[in-house]
C-alpha cells in the first residue's frame, strides 16, 4: 500500500477531530497511513470536561487547535469531515481541482459547552465507532492489494 494521509476536520479542532486523530493513530497498525486533524476555525482550546472524558476513554486530546490550510489540504488523500456544523460543500472547489481525492462526511453533533462529561463520552464513542469502521475499511483494502 502506498502512503495515505488522512485529515480529520471539525469546526474548531478542539474536540471531535482531535479525538478522531488521536484514536486513529492509536489503533492504526499500518505505518504507511498517517492522520492529522484541523479545524475550519482555529484558536480554541478544548474544555476540561472534554479532556477528562477523552482521558477516561484512553485518548489524549490536549494541545493547541490547528486551522486548515493549503499545505494540509495538499498533504491530504482522505478528508474526513467529522462535524455536523461544517458543510462539506466548502470543499467543493478542492474536490473539483483534485486537491481532495476522497471526502467522507460523518455529521457528528458537537456537544457545544454543556459541561456534561457523559455527553462528551457519547460523542467520543460515536467518533471511535466511525474511526473503527474507517480503519477496518482501510485494512480490507490493504489485504485485497488495493492502494
Q: Using pLDDT thresholds of 50, 70 and 90, give the confidence band for residue 116.
A: confident
Looking at per-residue confidence, does 84 or 2 come out higher?
84
Phi, psi (5° rounding) for residue 79?
-100, 125
d(CA 88, CA 90): 5
Mean pLDDT of the chain: 88
Q: What is the pLDDT of residues 69-86, one digit of tens each?
A: 989 999 999 999 999 999
What per-residue confidence (pLDDT) applies to 145? 63
Give yes or no for residue 48 having a pLDDT over 60: yes
C-alpha cell at 50: 472534554
Give yes or no for residue 33 having a pLDDT over 80: yes
Q: Are 44 and 66 in contact (CB under 8 A)?
A: no
Give yes or no for residue 125 having a pLDDT over 90: yes
What per-residue confidence (pLDDT) applies to 21? 97
C-alpha cell at 40: 475550519
- Taking the CA atoms of residue 136, residue 18, residue 57 and residue 54 in that order, the dihedral angle to the nearest 10 degrees is -160
CB burial of 69-93 (b: ≥16 within 10 Å; e: otherwise) equals eeebbeebbbbbbbbeebeeeebee
Give yes or no for residue 142 having a pLDDT over 90: no
Q: Using pLDDT thresholds of 50, 70 and 90, give the confidence band for residue 112.
A: low
Please name each of the domains of the chain with its CATH number.
Answer: 4-143 (3.40.50.2300)
What per-residue confidence (pLDDT) applies to 1? 56
Burial class (CB in 10 A: 0-12, 13-18, 19+), 140: exposed
d(CA 7, CA 97): 18
Amino acid at each position: 500500500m502506498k502512503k495515505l494521509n488522512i485529515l480529520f476536520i471539525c469546526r474548531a479542532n478542539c474536540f471531535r477531530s482531535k479525538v478522531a486523530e488521536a484514536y486513529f493513530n492509536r489503533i492504526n497498525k499500518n505505518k504507511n497511513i498517517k492522520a492529522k486533524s484541523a479545524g475550519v476555525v482555529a484558536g480554541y482550546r478544548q474544555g476540561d470536561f472534554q479532556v477528562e472524558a477523552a482521558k477516561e476513554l484512553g485518548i489524549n486530546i490536549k494541545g493547541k487547535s490547528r486551522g486548515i490550510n493549503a499545505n494540509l489540504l495538499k498533504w491530504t488523500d482522505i478528508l474526513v469531515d467529522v462535524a455536523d456544523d461544517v458543510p462539506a460543500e466548502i470543499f467543493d472547489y478542492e474536490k473539483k481541482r483534485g486537491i481532495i481525492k476522497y471526502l467522507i462526511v460523518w455529521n457528528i453533533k458537537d456537544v457545544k459547552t454543556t459541561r456534561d462529561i457523559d455527553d462528551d463520552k457519547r460523542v467520543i464513542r460515536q467518533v471511535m465507532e466511525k474511526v473503527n469502521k474507517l480503519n477496518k475499511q482501510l485494512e480490507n483494502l490493504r489485504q485485497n492489494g488495493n492502494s
